[in-house]
Chains A and B, each alone.
Chain A
């Protein structure tokens, strides 16, 4: 079946601009996660959704970052007033939830802020 998809695959923007990153999870997966990965580092947790609600947003770095999942499926990560330090690969993952909640990752969106 189809895996997790993310669009766009690459996004180049200028400092101060607004960007939206989209994630389409695996059909039927109730849990959705956003991570950020910088070069040479492991994925860094940003936010986790169970259904439509954000169950844990403790990883969002500041109030410029916001994510939604209005219908419990597709999610959008929104970054306002982008800064050069926001440049990274943004990964989305989904899972069925529960004890064996293996997370299936999407290919990521590479964000470059000039």
Chain B
């Protein structure tokens, strides 16, 4: 089942912070975050695994609450280059390799 992302869209000024949430109705094994700019391929940002391990982008942080079946992506001191659509992809079974993506959150960072 598709995870729900919120907000659908957010507009920031450069230097402001944002939080993007991803919520699932199923227990999660892992959450993957990607950013996609218009007309381009999604780019990997971060993976968070059940049990607390994570791997990802230096300037972006995220949390994974297994109990609540939620993940949040934290964008601090946003830069113009952060603009794009952010997708979370959820894996409900370890080793399944199958990601179900949310509908995305469109982030616009203005000067």
Contact = CB atoms under 8 A, between A and B. Distances in A.
Nearest to B55: A100
B109 interface: no
- The 5 closest A-B CB pairs, nearest first, are A42-B101, A105-B41, A102-B44, A42-B87, A105-B42
Interface residues on B, range: 20 to 34
Contacts of B40: 107
Given A42-B103, A43-B87, A108 B97 contact: no
Given A42-B89, A45-B101, A101-B47, 16 more contacts: A40-B104, A42-B87, A43-B89, A45-B98, A48-B98, A55-B97, A56-B97, A95-B97, A97-B97, A99-B49, A99-B53, A100-B47, A102-B32, A102-B55, A103-B44, A108-B41
B85 to A, nearest CB: 9
B47 A45 contact: no
B1 interface: no
Looking at chain A's contact residues, the main secondary structure is loop
Contact of B100 (A31, A45, A101): A45
Interface string B28-41: 00001010000011
Contacts of A48: 97-98
A75 to B, nearest CB: 15
Contacts of A45: 98-101
